[in-house]
């Protein structure tokens, strides 16, 4: 008997049908493929091109010998800092193994099979797998042509069956955010019996670019909400897997915690995150360098005759007169790793993560060469 068939009854139908786990071309995966990554400009995965705060690195070094111990399950030291900064009660703050665990947990806590979820697309590709595992009835709302979320479309998709609505601001892969004048409307249009989950993975970049403070508007919302942050981007700690959620009530926070594993945030990540949060100078340094690099990339892409989307984040996306995957592959062969949009209908879009000046220039030169050759 076919081995796979024999075991299929033991696997939930939704997971049988869900796409296989993706294997992003991380530095390690590329090295495993035999590529010399020291010669590749890594501009594909929206990682920070700067290392984390030197204080965070020192804290990890200082605590290497402690990894025989379990980490704190609720990250109390970190909770103190975030609670003081945000004014959110300690028992409404939840820590996750990256923000992705908390986004997935938000679906898990709110939605039973067949119930509705509203998601603006394109967005972070991780949502596809998260959503597939939950047997949700998904309404995908295409973004507007300038990359912005179609707020009216999101509101119109909400019906009696909807349990959770996502807003992602700033969004990936467009890089655009919900502006101040639209934010209240975006939030107020989600009914009070629906969980609103805001993904603020790129929060720091949005604020640095003059974006609105989502939390201050959420605090006035009657209905339930969760807003999710990460240390993977502006804090340059993608490899440490740590993020947190602020919740509208203790009940929501407790439910979210129940969706996570007991010891979900690694010990060294907790030490590093604490120092990162306190090292405001380093954060501002990364934000300023990122802004400079983003402007360089944007100008360079315009000079190539392209029309990049206006981004406030650590990446810039643009339509190209070619297949994005082909451009991505050819760029890698030429020593620059970028990304192509994954969504159907956007096969001619690429996304470039901001890097140092030299890498940005190399990327632009290589892109010009590649676009002329294919």
Q: Which residues bind ligand PLP (CB under 6 A)?
A: 46, 98-100, 124, 126, 168, 172, 199, 201, 230, 232, 238, 243
- Minimum distance from CB of 206 to ligand PLP (Å)? 11
- Minimum distance from CB of 340 to ligand PLP (Å)? 15
* Contacts (Cβ under 8 Å, ≥6 apart) of 365: none
* Contacts (Cβ under 8 Å, ≥6 apart) of 132: 14, 15, 17, 18, 19
Residue whose CB is nearest to ligand PLP in the complex, by number: 98
Residue pair 298/266 in contact (Cβ under 8 Å)? The answer is: no
Pick the closest to residue 311 from 344, 277, 350 (CA basis): 350
The vertex-91 CA angle with 213 and 59, nearest 5°, equals 80
- Minimum distance from CB of 146 to ligand PLP (Å)? 18
Identify which of residues 82 and 370 has a Cβ nearer to ligand PLP in the complex: 82
- Minimum distance from CB of 47 to ligand PLP (Å)? 9
Identify which of residues 98 and 308 has a Cβ nearer to ligand PLP in the complex: 98
Identify which of residues 235 and 330 has a Cβ nearer to ligand PLP in the complex: 235
Identify which of residues 206 and 366 has a Cβ nearer to ligand PLP in the complex: 206
Identify which of residues 79 and 97 has a Cβ nearer to ligand PLP in the complex: 97
| Exposure of 47 in the CB half-sphere (CA atoms within 13 A) | 20
Identify which of residues 200 and 289 has a Cβ nearer to ligand PLP in the complex: 200
- Minimum distance from CB of 228 to ligand PLP (Å)? 7
DSSP 182-251: HHHHHHHTS-TTSEEEEE-TTHHHHHHTT---HHHHHTT-SS-EEEEEESSSTT--GGG--EEEEESSHH
Pick the closest to residue 114 from 167, 155, 166, 160 (CA basis): 160
Residue pair 242/95 in contact (Cβ under 8 Å)? The answer is: yes
- Minimum distance from CB of 353 to ligand PLP (Å)? 10
């Amino acid at each position: 008997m076919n081995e796979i068939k024999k075991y299929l009854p033991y696997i939930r139908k939704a997971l049988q049908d869900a796409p296989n786990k993706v294997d992003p071309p991380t530095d390690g995966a590329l090295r495993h493929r035999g590529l010399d990554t020291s010669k590749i400009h890594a501009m594909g995965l929206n990682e920070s091109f700067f290392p984390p705060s030197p204080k965070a690195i020192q804290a990890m070094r200082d605590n290497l010998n402690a990894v025989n111990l379990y980490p704190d399950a609720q990250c109390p030291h970190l909770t103190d800092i975030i609670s003081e900064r945000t004014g959110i009660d300690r028992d409404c703050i939840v820590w996750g193994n990256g923000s992705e665990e908390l986004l997935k947990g938000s679906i898990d806590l709110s939605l039973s099979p067949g119930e509705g979820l509203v998601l603006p697309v394109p967005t972070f590709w991780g949502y596809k797998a998260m959503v597939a595992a939950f047997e949700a009835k998904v309404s995908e709302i295409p973004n507007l042509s300038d990359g912005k979320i179609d707020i009216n479309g999101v509101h119109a998709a909400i019906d009696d069956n909807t349990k959770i609505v996502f807003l992602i601001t700033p969004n990936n892969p467009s890089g655009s955010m919900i502006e101040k004048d639209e934010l209240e409307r975006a939030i107020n249009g989600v009914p009070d019996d629906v969980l609103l989950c805001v993904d603020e993975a790129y929060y720091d970049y949005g604020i640095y670019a003059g974006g609105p403070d989502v939390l201050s508007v959420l605090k006035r919302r009657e209905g339930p909400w969760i807003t999710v942050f990460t240390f993977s981007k502006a804090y340059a700690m993608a490899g440490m897997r740590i993020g947190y959620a602020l919740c509208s009530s203790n009940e929501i926070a407790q439910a979210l915690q129940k969706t996570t594993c007991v010891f979900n945030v690694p010990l060294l990540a907790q030490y590093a995150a604490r120092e990162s949060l306190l090292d405001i100078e380093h954060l501002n340094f990364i934000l300023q360098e990122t802004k400079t690099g983003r402007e360089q990339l944007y100008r360079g892409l315009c000079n190539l005759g392209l029309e990049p989307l206006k981004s406030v984040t650590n990446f810039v996306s643009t339509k190209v007169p070619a297949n994005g995957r082909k451009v991505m592959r050819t760029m890698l062969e030429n020593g620059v790793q970028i990304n192509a949009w994954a969504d159907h209908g956007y096969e001619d879009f690429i996304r470039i993560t901001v890097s140092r000046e030299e890498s940005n220039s190399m990327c632009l030169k290589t892109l010009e060469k590649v676009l002329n050759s294919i």
